[in-house]
Amino acid sequence: MHGYIAPLRLRLDGDALVSNWRWLAAMSGGAACGAAIKANGYGLGAVEVMTRLLRAGCRDFFVSNWGEAAAVEHLLADGISLSVLHGVRQEDMAQALGSRARPVLCTPEQVARWRAAGGGRCDVMIDTGMNRLGLDWRGDVVFAVEGLEMATLLSHLASADEDTMLNAAQLDRFRQIRIRVSAPRYSLANSAGICLGTDFGFDLTRPGLALYGGIPSPIAAQHIRPVVQPQAQILQRRRVLAGDAIGYNATHVAEKDLEIAVLNLGYADGYLRGFSGRGAACRDGARLPVLGRVSMDLVAVDVSARPDVGEGEWLDIAYDLGEASAASGLSQYELITGLGARYDRLWI
Ligand SMILES: *Cc1c(COP(=O)(O)O)cnc(C)c1O
């Protein structure tokens, strides 16, 4: 499908991405600021994101698994590090041993596997209260990591986007670990963790969401710029008469005569049904509300107020992450990582 122009696209703002990284780097205090580029760069495109952040000076990247590592490994050079957050399964060992990326060992089994293979440089994840991945902070971590060639010791905050005692508790536990376990670098904070203050920075921070325009904390709102703007093309402009129903299950019945635009966008594109009757498109600042249910591949918006828009034209989809999250019930993370493969991704 060379040369194919998709009927839906993401306009991606490379300057905003870099500006967000710079703000997060400044907020990280003395710590280096890395970047989480898992899930294909949160849906934007990992190669494109990493290329831009490398140019801006970012040196430390994080992906989830070895498939994601393989997709960006060609961008690695001396002084650039790529850590694989889920560590190594048995199935990953051949790739991992030959890779310039390194695993974040997360379980005693992974540590044993890596040690037995003489795996070399690695990171280690300590669980300090989330009970997801990582060696238990209450265990004998000193013994558990003995002999590993550790680059970074990590932990991850469970509730950094909330004002809760757990943040201070995890910070304290991580500090205690740091006293006992010696590593070249320590890393705790994600985007929201950076906003908790430089105490959380240690040597390296790992923002994801905020790089891509997500607002992890009210203090970021004035500084983080939007990066992702979905746009969809109009397939049909259509007249709807008073009393007519629109879309599946006839959930919207027109109270008066209307004009709608049917857009090439649906829940298969991550525009989930939570936007039914709640989302909107925009044109020159005018809000064009979604009418009825979002279909798999289509959605209708009210363009009665905009007689100028017709077939073939493009509309912005209202996607301010805070507002879209409130409207749809989806998290900001779900809103960007769900955007899917059918969009053309255009960097501006
Ligand atoms: C996803 C992830 C991050 C980035 O988190 P954001 O909330 O997107 O900033 C950092 N560290 C780990 C271990 C992660 O899984």
Q: Is residue 38 annotated as a catalytic residue, yes or no?
A: yes
Domain ranges of the chain: 14-213, 228-347
Atom from ligand 1 closest to the CA of residue 161: 7
pTM for the full predicted model: 0.97
Distance 10 CA to ligand 1 centre (A): 23
Minimal-distance CA residue to ligand 1 atom 15 = 85
- Ligand 1 probe mutation, 190, 196, 321, most atoms within 8 A of CB: 190
Segment 86-92 long-range contacts (CB within 8 Å, at least 24 positions apart): 86/133, 87/125, 87/133, 88/113, 88/114, 88/119, 92/65, 92/66
Atom from ligand 1 closest to the CA of residue 85: 13
Parallel/antiparallel/unpaired status of strands 258-263 and 228-240: antiparallel
How long is the chain? 348
Q: State residue 136's pLDDT score.
A: 97
Q: State residue 150's pLDDT score.
A: 98
Distance 160 CA to ligand 1 centre (A): 11
Distance 6 CA to ligand 1 centre (A): 31
Environment class of residue 192 by beta-carbon count within 10 Å: exposed (0-12), middle (13-18) or buried (19+)?
A: buried
H-run or E-run covering 245 = strand 245-246
The first and second tokens of residue 143, run together, are 């013994």
Q: State residue 72's pLDDT score.
A: 98
Distance (Å, rounded) from C-alpha 64 to C-alpha 42? Answer: 11
Distance (Å, rounded) from C-alpha 32 to C-alpha 203? Answer: 6
Q: At what angle do helices 14-27 and 46-56 cross, to 10 degrees?
A: 60
Query: Which pLDDT tens digits describe the chain residue by residue (348 residues)?
Result: 578 999 999 999 999 999 999 999 999 999 999 999 999 999 999 999 999 999 999 999 999 999 999 999 999 999 999 999 999 999 999 999 999 999 999 999 999 999 999 999 999 999 999 999 999 999 999 999 999 999 999 999 999 999 999 999 999 999 999 999 999 999 999 999 999 999 999 999 999 999 999 999 999 999 999 999 999 999 999 999 999 999 999 999 999 999 999 999 999 999 999 999 999 999 998 999 999 999 999 999 999 999 999 999 999 999 999 999 999 999 999 999 999 999 999 999
- Ligand 1 probe mutation, 131, 156, 196, most atoms within 8 A of CB: 156
For residue 208, give every residue at least 6 positions away whose Cβ sits within 8 Å of its Cβ, in sequence order, or none: 35, 36, 37, 38, 42, 62, 190, 191
Distance 208 CA to ligand 1 centre (A): 6
Distance (Å, rounded) from C-alpha 26 to C-alpha 24? Answer: 5
List 4, 38, 42, 271, catalytic entry: 38
Atom from ligand 1 closest to the CA of residue 156: 13
> Which homologous superfamily does the CATH classification assign to the domain defined by 228-347?
Lyase, Ornithine Decarboxylase; Chain A, domain 1 (2.40.37.10)
Distance 67 CA to ligand 1 centre (A): 18
Assigned fold of 14-213: TIM Barrel (3.20.20)
List 186, 248, 267, 333, catalytic entry: 248
In degrees and rounded to multiples of 5, residue 264 shows phi and psi of -80, 70
Distance 113 CA to ligand 1 centre (A): 25
Minimal-distance CA residue to ligand 1 atom 3 = 190
The first and second tokens of residue 51, run together, are 């290329």
Atom from ligand 1 closest to the CA of residue 210: 9
Task: Ligand 1: list residues with CB < 6 Å.
Answer: 36, 38, 85, 156, 190-192, 206-209
Give the sign of the dihedral formed by CA 146, CA 132, CA 38, CA 224: negative
